Amino acid sequence: MIIVNEVLTETPQIVLDEGFMFGRGIFETLLVKEKPIFLKEHMDRMNEALSILNINKKIDKNYIETIVDKYNLNNCVLKIVVSDKNTVISTRSINYHSEDYKKGFKVRISKSRRNAYSTIPYIKSINYIENILEKQHAIEEGFNETLFLNTDGYIAESSSGNIFLIKDDKLYTPSVNCGLLNGILRQWVLNNFHVIEGNFTLEDIFNSQGAFLTNSIMGIMKIVDIDGANLRYHHLIEEISTCYKKEIFKY
């Protein structure tokens, strides 16, 4: 399903604005069960980012709820893309499967670095090509994901989510000022568990008791390997995953 500027269409007619020409736009990707999960949080983040880009538009959560109800959307991924002259809503299937969670993810380290002093890492802009290319390279090399360090050598985020690690039975995650997007699920973990934010190196992960990735579609995904080095598995990962599954069961 694709809705462009409130019109359901199979042949999208996009207005050529600065979103198309320069990537000046924002997107959000939501998991929909019977209802959109964390819809308010996604829309709040989108509208804040639109303000940062000086795009004079606001997407109301009630409008998205109306779309979901009208087209009977469930058990899918909902993507909302907004630029100055375009609002595009589309759906796709969920591309994570039970076997993925059993196996866990193998992660490579990207040679590209996040710039913590730029605006770009902190918003979910449609200028997303580096993430796409690095994810593609990871898959081509036999990995599932790519992990970015920042220009100071600290861990930032993956190409499609945030990272957590466990040391001394405690939960840690990179601070937002490391140059990363404050993911909706990242914030949920922070709100529901004691998490220490800070600056962490690759050595912190290699010496950890375990690590996992988060994003709104994937949920909680354990990391089993980083650049060929096996990681341990900690029971806290399963506890967080179980708690998250109970949370989204409400939807």
User: pLDDT 10s digit of each residue in the chain, 251 long?
Assistant: 888 888 888 788 889 999 999 999 999 999 999 999 999 999 999 999 999 999 999 999 999 999 999 999 999 999 999 999 999 999 999 999 999 999 999 999 999 999 999 999 999 999 999 999 999 999 999 999 999 999 999 999 999 999 999 999 999 999 999 999 999 999 999 999 999 999 999 999 999 999 999 999 999 999 999 999 999 999 999 999 999 999 998 87
- What are the residue ranges of CATH 3.30.470.10 in the chain? 2-92
Partners of 220 in beta bridges: 214
- What is the rounded CA–CA span in Å between residue 88 and residue 73? 16
Angle between helices 235-249 and 184-192 (to 10 degrees): 110
CA distance 237 to 166: 9
Strand duo 210-215 + 170-174: pairing: unpaired
Count how many residues are written for the chain.
Answer: 251
Q: Give CATH for domain 98-249.
A: 3.20.10.10
| Beta-sheet strands, E only, within the chain | 2-4, 7-8, 25-32, 76-83, 87-92, 105-114, 145-150, 155-158, 162-167, 170-174, 195-198, 210-215, 219-226, 229-230
DSSP letter assigned to residue 117: T
Q: What is the pTM for the complete model shown?
A: 0.95
Helix H, strand E, coil C: the string for 67-81 is HHHHCCCCCEEEEEE
Confidence at residue 12, expressed as pLDDT on a 0 to 100 scale? 80
The CATH number of 2-92 is: 3.30.470.10
Give start-end residues of each CATH 3.20.10.10 domain in the chain. Answer: 98-249
**Residue 199 is encoded by which pair of tokens?**
């600056």
Supply the pLDDT for residue 251.
79
